[in-house]
Structure 1
């Protein structure tokens, strides 16, 4: 039975996670370890965390809606991949052993951070070989499968999803990081809602934690969304890379010791 203090700590962690997700991604890497530190088993913590942070993505998406102007076509083309991938990842989580889940986490996060760091070079290579400038429907079509794979990862294990999404979107779409960040918010919301709906029937959600964290995530996401548009895109990118590398290395060390 969780105490009031423990619930309050979980709520604060969720608020910080919601804000971080809106700003740079990786916010789940705040709330997920917090749940584990409170004694919640890893898979249960992951599922509860996914359900709880959905409102944070809503708050972040609404706060950044002005940066979504002109991106309706992108959303319509990429949302199906985000939803299907999130559902597939949620199903995978419940049917793959917890040990496999534990081993894969650091490598997936490190890969995402590295991909984001070199995205400019990779994006140029993709344009030369596909003939897409990233602004038309072809760019979105090329991004659909990678977005679906990223969503499957997110449904399986939320931490790092925002980093992967930004890396993928930056490879295929030619736009400012601020606008891609807003698009990322909507795709992350779709992915997490798809996985969360599936998890509702798992019987593994700790509802008192989920409710308190949902309130915190909504507040944090809204606050972070308002701040995101004022941050220099280049600094935002390297902040995301730093977060991804630091968290990935932390999980890798924990795996090896």
Structure 2
């Protein structure tokens, strides 16, 4: 790897760490860069996942203030995320490389639609729950199943899993979007962390790439936390839509 290539990977790590903390989809920056420098797709995906874990941790720490009073919620969701991540990581190592390629753009588009309609949909869900007298404090079993599904996706590829998580949390949990973003960061950290452990144990990892992405992502995670918590809900949703749309375009058109 040349110095310019190493600089490109490091810079991609900074951008990915920041975007992952604010929204998600950082993989859509790092993964193409790793392919461009000649890494095989699976090795690139595995090394990218391992390298982004420190950035996820950095972003979660940066949002620690918004996690206050939410640890019960985090613990409830964590089991679903971890189980899904384990399934997704195993699928990556056993299925053909392009097995999920066709549905990834669809998943991101669904997430973007959820983000746009989330305020109205959340109000409708709240009204229906109020009429029935049943208001699950943590979103109920449907949300847990959806978080598991997102964990499977995150363990397999992970691009825009933050968009999916934030959209789902916004619909099913009646909470400030910044506080939900903090929960999203912890769940993404757990998903990436467990996948990374599995990959390190059984897959080929490019440790130079991991080190470069990790160093950049740590910086990006802190920058993203500072920027993200200052964004009003409307602006944050707009950022999510823009980043998610770019992710779809890059996946579909390469």
Query: Which bracket does the TM-score occupy, shorter chain normalised?
Result: over 0.9
Offset at residue 122 of structure 1 (A) = 2.9
Deviation readout 1:217-248 (Å, 9 max, x if unpaired): 11110121122211111101111012112220
Partner of 1:69: 68
Offset at residue 136 of structure 1 (A) = 5.1
1-side partners of 2:82 and 2:3: how far apart?
35
Partner of 1:107: 106
- 8 A contact 1:162–1:188 mirrored in 2: yes
1-side partners of 2:47 and 2:103: how far apart?
20
1-side partners of 2:109 and 2:47: how far apart?
24
**Alignment CA distance shift 1:133-1:124 (3 Å):** farther
2-side partners of 1:107 and 1:192: how far apart?
21
Deviation readout 1:15-65 (Å, 9 max, x if unpaired): 110011112222221111111121222222111111100000111111110
Structure 2: unaligned runs, 5 residues or longer: none
Residues 180-195 of structure 1 aligned to structure 2 (within 5 Å): 180-195=180-195
2-side partners of 1:11 and 1:202: how far apart?
25
2-side partners of 1:134 and 1:36: how far apart?
49
Partner of 2:196: 196
Residues 96-135 of structure 1 aligned to structure 2 (within 5 Å): 96-131=95-130
Matched residues, number: 253
SS at match of 2:103: helix
Residues 16-31 of structure 1 aligned to structure 2 (within 5 Å): 16-31=15-30
**Alignment CA distance shift 1:135-1:29 (3 Å):** farther
**Alignment CA distance shift 1:237-1:134 (3 Å):** farther
Matched, 1:82 2:76: no
Partner of 2:6: 7
- 8 A contact 2:59–2:222 mirrored in 1: yes
Matched, 1:220 2:220: yes
2-side partners of 1:113 and 1:33: how far apart?
22
* TM value normalised by structure 1: 0.91
Offset at residue 135 of structure 1 (A) = 7.7
- 8 A contact 1:107–1:252 mirrored in 2: no
* TM value normalised by structure 2: 0.92
What is the RMSD computed on CA atoms of the aligned residues?
2.0
